[in-house]
Structure 1
């Protein structure tokens, strides 16, 4: 093992927060997960049968209070009757005072577009305990964007909304009306003005191909990095990543080196604590990714991929999950690909140590509240090894892409 690799090594400790039968929510994927203060808010999603029956669930857990690792206490949030059932949405922290949660809802009507879906942005005030915490803001901007007919057009799903340091949400890619979309929509959450940028008109050979289910995160320089994804036919390579400059409206392509992860989509990506690394977890392609293929780090100084040193057993690979960072920890929530009887719906990964050493961490300290280590994931059973996971794109996108695939098959 090279010294260079050792320098790049990172300590990962897995602490499982194991729920018991009193959970108030069911397993889900394609949900949203958002940090506000010390709460992790979970909203919407689909169940394992690809039905959005959990699409109106809204709950959180508070990591600033005492946590029992064998009983993760979820708190139900007030009624959300005015918010449509949904999945594949974006839910970010923003607003004029950065104290509001902003929900961007994708198109919901699957096969009939005759009924208008006018409202696509909802706001939630986490500090309002009444039933009026949810509101529908008035969107301002170009009439061509906001008129009743066009509202449906900008409702895209299977994208990742990224909020910058000024409260603007960047909505790129995704699917609308069964078609992959190239436009970049920018919603300023401080005044709810909407802007559309047609990036296909940019004279730039570094434009990314159209995609969904990519990983994305905001960088310290207010640029956004996009990693992997799915183009309706293939899972995309991580041999190159794309960076969008939010100020100049320009794209840059960076060729990566090192131990390059396999092609994948439905992955998560977060910025490391030092601002110099991007950490990805999970994802899927046309085969079942193994546990040792799920964790990678991209060094942003030279765009070199490496596999971090691991303390403890890596959990099973997940996809359609969400990842957030709070304090020194990367929080993985829900998703597909894991056995709920063996692993928790919530995983914590310690990403604080950039030195090369291994130490199994037995407890973590959240705001002076010590959470004792409960256990590393058990070994996979024979049934788990033989499990045929649902990783192929045709099943994942189901009816939303039915027409798209039929069209492709005819052309081929």
Structure 2
């Protein structure tokens, strides 16, 4: 019996590979969407104002409601060797698009990490110190990461680093000495391989959205485009996502410490020049963040996580969602249904996008595991009943068998 119990203990312990995680308010964290999970890492908390290395994910392969327990699992044991940090940048890259790259540049120290094979964080050697990166983008092939920022290595000017992800060590693959010497905001990779930087700094912090700088990864050329439409009000600490319809949605941001009046604006990149407009949407909940948050697009949902709220400077431990399925009518929602989960490339080709292969694979594995577990439980119960019956009817023989 002891051996039988040990078998089941080992079997089920292998099934339980993650543990629940109690959400803690944070800001300045990163969010990376991969394999139907949004991975959150780091950030500033009320207890650790110099940064953390917390690592956990939200499972978006299953439905959930924001008012109930969220499907979140803790992976912090995997990130115990990652330096505590805040305001890092991350991207999903490499040719298989299955590796999280984290880049943190603080004061004189530079940290490069990658989360490989969904198992462990690996520190990547680099000699490029003293840069604060503001954005990072992976190209369509997953072979290059485009880092934009400034630091002492370039006399404080802003620069572009192009990193080859296929190399064992990270190094400066290419450097554009003609980079526009200005602060550029959030970066979005468009389907045609161009990177759109959503706004440029006009003074100490505020970002102006009239001009959009575009870097073409195909030929390494910078373009300055003047947009049309209803220009968003100046701000900083906003986020941006790209929809399946090639619309860039910006959310949040502050101006002189106060939330901006137009929290959501949309940039249509299908026209030339790009055009700004404001969609119809109810006022944001009072608990919604205005800065220090992350925004991730999953299907028709823009998932806004943590950050700092309007009425409280303490970091939030909440997640909010906006349904963006209708182009000009957005809705704050609390229920999530994992429909239309797509990659940007596939979404632009089909309006009837379905679950990604990763989600289908995960579902098959889950169903197979449940079936195996059920069969084993039935066999174990039957076996125990059989042993019990055998012990009652054939006690002498059973005793003799034990002695053997």
Q: What is the TM-score of this pair, normalised by structure 2? A: 0.68
Deviation of 1:67 (Å): 2.5
Aligned-residue CA RMSD in angstroms? 3.2
Name the CA shift for 1:152/1:79 in 2 (closer, same or farther; >3 Å): same
> Matches of 1:41 and 1:33 in 2, distance apart?
5
- Alignment match, 1:124: 115
CA deviation after TM superposition for structure 1 residue 297, in Å: 0.5
Aligned counterparts, 1:84-233, within 5 A:
84-107=83-106, 110=107, 113=108, 117=109, 120-125=111-116, 127-128=118-119, 133-137=120-124, 150-153=127-130, 156-167=131-142, 168-176=144-152, 180-192=156-168, 193-195=170-172, 197-201=174-178, 208-211=180-183, 214-228=185-199, 230=201, 233=204
Q: Aligned in 2, Cα 1:299/1:169: closer, same or farther, shift over 3 Å?
A: same
Shift of 1:230: 4.3
Indicate if the aligned counterparts of 1:330 and 1:350 stay in contact, CA closer than 8 A. Answer: yes
Structure 1 residues 368 and 34, CA gap change in structure 2 (3 angstroms): closer
- How many angstroms apart in 2 are the aligned matches of 1:98 and 1:199? 25
Cα drift, residue 158 of structure 1: 4.9
Listed one character per residue, the Cα deviations across residues 244-275 of structure 1 (whole Å, up to 9, x for unaligned) are: 11122211111122211111221111112112
User: Which ranges in structure 2 are unaligned for 5 or more consecutive residues?
Assistant: 1-19, 342-404
In structure 2, the residue matched to 1:293 is 262
Aligned equivalent of 1:28, options 19, 26, 29: 26
Aligned length: 313
Secondary structure in 2 matching 1:195: coil
> Per the alignment, do residues 240 and 367 of structure 1 end up closer, same or farther by CA in structure 2, a change over 3 Å counting?
closer
**Residue aligning to 2:17:** none
Q: 1:103-136 deviations in whole A, cap 9, x for unaligned?
A: 11223xx4xx5xxx5x7321213533xxxx1223
Which structure shows the higher helix fraction?
2
Question: Structure 1 residue 269 and structure 2 residue 240: aligned?
Answer: yes
Map Cα deviations across residues 70-100 of structure 1 (whole Å, 9 max, x no partner): 2224211033232111112122212242222
Question: CA distance change for structure 1 residues 345 and 224 in 2, over 3 Å: closer, same or farther?
Answer: same
* Displacement of 1:209: 4.0
Shift of 1:242: 0.8
SS of residue in 1 equivalent to 2:320 = strand
* SS of residue matched to 2:187: strand
Please tell me whether Structure 1 or Structure 2 has the larger radius of gyration of its CA atoms.
2
Gaps of 5+ in 1: 1-21, 139-145, 202-206, 370-412
Alpha-carbon offset, residue 175 of structure 1: 4.4
Distance 2:257 2:123 in 1: 42
In structure 2, what is the Cα distance between the partners aligned to 1:279 and 1:185? 26
Deviation at 1:231, TM superposition (A): 6.6
Mapped partners of 1:84, 1:223: distance in 2: 32
What is the Cα deviation at residue 169 of structure 1? 1.3
1:314 counterpart SS class: coil
State the 1:40 CA deviation.
0.8
CA distance in 1, matches of 2:157, 2:47: 26
Distance in 1 (alpha carbons) for counterparts of 2:151 and 2:323:
34
| Change in 2 beyond 3 A, CA 1:200/1:321 | same
Q: Tell me, yes or no, if structure 1 residue 350 matches structure 2 residue 323.
A: yes
Of the two structures, which has the highest relative contact order with CA contacts closer than 8 Å and spacing of 6 or more?
Answer: 1
In structure 2, distance between residues paired with 1:334 and 1:179: 34
TM-score by length of 1: 0.67
Secondary structure at the residue paired with 1:79? Answer: helix
Q: Distance in 2 between matches of 1:250 and 1:368?
A: 34
Once the two structures are TM-superposed, the CA of residue 137 in structure 1 deviates from its matched residue by 3.9
Q: Is the 8 A contact 1:229 1:265 kept in 2?
A: no
Aligned equivalents of 1:357, 1:42: Cα separation in 2: 29
The answer on 1:58 being equivalent to 2:30 is no
Query: Does the Cα contact within 8 Å between 2:300 and 2:325 map onto a contact in 1?
Result: yes
1:97 to 1:62, Cα distance in 2 relative to 1, 3 A = same
Contact 1:43 1:58 in 2 (8 A): yes
Q: Which residue of 1 aligns with 2:299?
A: 327
Inter-CA distance 272–48: structure 2 relative to 1 (3 Å threshold) = same
SS at match of 1:260: coil
How far apart, CA to CA, are the structure 2 residues paired with 1:187 and 1:176?
Answer: 19
1:138-169, Cα deviation, whole Å (9 max, x unpaired): 5xxxxxxx5xxx4324xx32511111112221
